[in-house]
Amino acid sequence: MVEAIQAVMGPNDVFRGVALTTGSAGTIGSGDYLKQLYPTSVIAAGEAVQCPTILYNGFGEHRIEGIGDKHIPWVHNVKNTDVAIGLDDEATMSISRLFNEPAGQSYLVDQGVKPDIVEKLPLLGISGIGNMLASIKLAKYYEMTSRDVLVTVGTDSMEMYGSRLHELTEERGTYGAMDASATLARHLHGAAIDHVHELGYWDRKRIHNLKYYTWVEQQGKTYAEIQAQWYDPDYWTSIQAMVEPIDRLIEAFNERTGLE
């Protein structure tokens, strides 16, 4: 991420933050490192608004496959999370059709999107689209400009979700130019700052406290460790220090299994 940021930032640009759906919280952990390098940057956590656990202590079913729900991951450093963003799963599903259906791709080219960009859009799967939308909503919330730089991750590609496109066609019919126009206007140009919440100290504490019911009462984590996550300033940096030893173990494992 740092290499990508440095590659695109101009001399007058400012790195503003990272926006990611939570998943296992392994990816959003990158925000801790980025904030150490760029102290004024923010970390935004996205989730489906149909299952707003972070936003509203809520629950429910959603279609943004590949992200977590109904609990706060043990490795999510909630105390360092600045913004919670709710994403409508209808937006992710509609945009997946816009980016992958022939009529959607043709419409985007007609609207001035470069063909080489359109060809790469299937690299964004459903949760990757969610990350993109989280970034758009974060940028709009803070009224960012072309000088502001955000980073996110294309976590998956539509290669994993071909069956979902077939299901949507069976459910809604063939995707045409009118559908593409509506999707672009409503879900991309129309992406707004609804369900975007800046987290204060007690908001973060509320979210952190949700870990207790999942991890201490049900999964055997200790009361002392959940308290350390909140009160011990060295807890999370000590985990960062494990990166290189863990990388060496992964490399050794890959070598033994012939994956290297």
Strand partners, 85: 46, 196
pLDDT value for 192: 96
The rounded distance, in Å, linking the Cα atoms of 144 and 240 is 30
Residue 65 pLDDT = 82
pLDDT of residue 260: 62
- Do 137 and 85 meet the contact criterion of CB atoms below 8 Å apart? yes
Architecture of the 2-221 domain: 3-Layer(aba) Sandwich (3.40)
Beta bridge partners of 42: 17
pLDDT digits (tens, 9 = 90+) for 96-138: 999 999 999 999 999 999 999 999 999 999 999 999 999 999 9
Spell out the residues 6+ positions from residue 88 whose beta carbon is closer than 8 angstroms to its own. 48, 49, 50, 187
* pLDDT above 90 (res 160): no
Under 8 Å between Cβ of 139 and 162: no
Site of tokens 């729900």? 69
List all residues 6 or more positions away from 58 whose beta carbon is below 8 Å from its beta carbon.
Answer: 51, 52
pLDDT reading at 23 higher than 80: no
The answer to whether 183 and 94 have CB atoms below 8 angstroms apart is: yes
Share of the chain above pLDDT 70, in %: 99
Domain ranges of the chain: 2-221, 224-260
H or E, element range at 139: helix 126-141
pTM attached to this predicted model: 0.92
pLDDT of 75-90, one tens digit each?
999 999 999 999 999 9
Burial class (CB in 10 A: 0-12, 13-18, 19+), 234: exposed
Of 34, 84, 45, 66, the closest CA to residue 240 belongs to 34
